[in-house]
Amino acid sequence: MSVSYSQMLQSFREEEGAFLAAVSADWMQGRTTYGGLAAALSLEGTLRAHPSLPPLRSAQVSFIGPAGGEVRVAPQLLRQGKSVAFVGADLVSNDTLAARSVFAFGAARASRFKASYMHAPPLRAPDECEPYIPEGMGAPFASHFDTRLIKGGRPMTGSAERDHYIWVRHRDERARSLSALVALADMPPPAMMPMFPEFAPISTVTWSFNMLADNPETVDGWWLLQSRAENAAAGYSSQDMIVWDRMGRAVIAGRQSVAIFI
């Protein structure tokens, strides 16, 4: 049975200072939980354990081992400063550490600067684009997202493209929280994957991202995602990632290290 993101959060329960969730098969990516979901559950547990935190500013997520079935998120306040708080969150599956996150939350301060240098390029609207991942294809977790390819290549097509622009939204219309945005921000396959001539395994090693807006919102659930390959050697790739809202305002800037087995 398919479980939507909001349904999963409804069953997210606290137990002895940690939070438990059941990851269904439709949220898997190969033999592990989809990385965006692992990061999102870690953030959700952190926010529930510490509801008075200031806005999220930055996150570093390490994907250490496979996760599936019941997972446990254990948040821990690492330091509370005058303006910035650091919270760690371990996601454990089958008594084994699967992901470790460190989130930095920071209160707003007066500053002479208020500028963004990451404006979205002029691109076609979602209804003018073809689906990025056709219905029934891709990893199981992809069924939870509506996608449109604007520019770039599709996975495993031997494409020469390294820079990809994709519209993405949750099919679950109630998935509008900050953690839901984090779950969506990791949706595109690695930027190198369109260059693969055939299927080959991949595994995200680390994901770091900075939040560029305190309360990101968009129109009709659509977010514009860019994924750009920078380097690939020795079985690892490095990529740059940006998320904009429908109005072209940058809300997330991220980077990933990905193991590629081809």
Give the up-direction half-sphere exposure of residue 235: CA atoms within 13 A in the CB hemisphere.
6
C-alpha to C-alpha distances, 160 to 106, 197, 198, nearest whole angstrom: 40, 11, 14
Q: Is the pLDDT of residue 114 over 90?
A: no
Residue with tokens 């519209």: 167
For the segment 92-99, the average pLDDT, to the nearest whole number, is 96
Bridge pairing between strands 96-106 and 56-63: antiparallel
Going from N- to C-terminal start, the domains of the chain cover 5-107+125-260
Q: Is the pLDDT of residue 67 over 70?
A: yes
- Residue 157 to residue 155: CA distance in whole angstroms: 6
Check residue 194 and report its DSSP letter. Answer: G
For the segment 126-154, the average pLDDT, to the nearest whole number, is 90
Backbone angles phi, psi at 201, to 5 degrees: -65, 150
Helix, strand, coil shares of the chain as percentages rounded to 5? 15, 40, 40
Residue whose C-alpha is closest to residue 98's, from 203, 197, 226: 203
Dihedral angle computed from the Cα positions of residues 88, 89, 92 and 96, in that order, rounded to the nearest 10 degrees: -10
What one-letter code names the amino acid at 130?
A: E
Q: How far apart are the first and last CA of the chain?
A: 33
When pLDDT is cut at 50, 70 and 90, the band that residue 115 belongs to is: confident
Q: Is the pLDDT of residue 8 over 70?
A: yes
Q: Is the pLDDT of residue 225 over 90?
A: yes
Q: Is the pLDDT of residue 136 over 70?
A: no
The count of other CB atoms within 10 Å of the CB of residue 221 is 19
DSSP string, 119-159: PPPP---GGGSB-SS-TT-S-GGGGGEEEEEEES--TTS--
Percent of the chain with pLDDT over 70: 99
Tokens of 228: 């750009």
Topology at the third CATH level for domain 5-107+125-260: Porin (2.40.160)
Query: What is this structure's pTM?
Result: 0.95
pLDDT tens digits, one per residue of 154-198:
999 999 999 999 999 999 999 999 999 999 999 999 999 999 999
Q: Is the pLDDT of residue 138 over 90?
A: no
- Residue 212 to residue 176: CA distance in whole angstroms: 17
Bridge pairing between strands 223-233 and 163-170: antiparallel
* pLDDT of res. 61: 98
Helices (H) and strands (E) in the chain, counts: 3, 14
- Residue 147 to residue 149: CA distance in whole angstroms: 7
Backbone angles phi, psi at 98, to 5 degrees: -105, -35
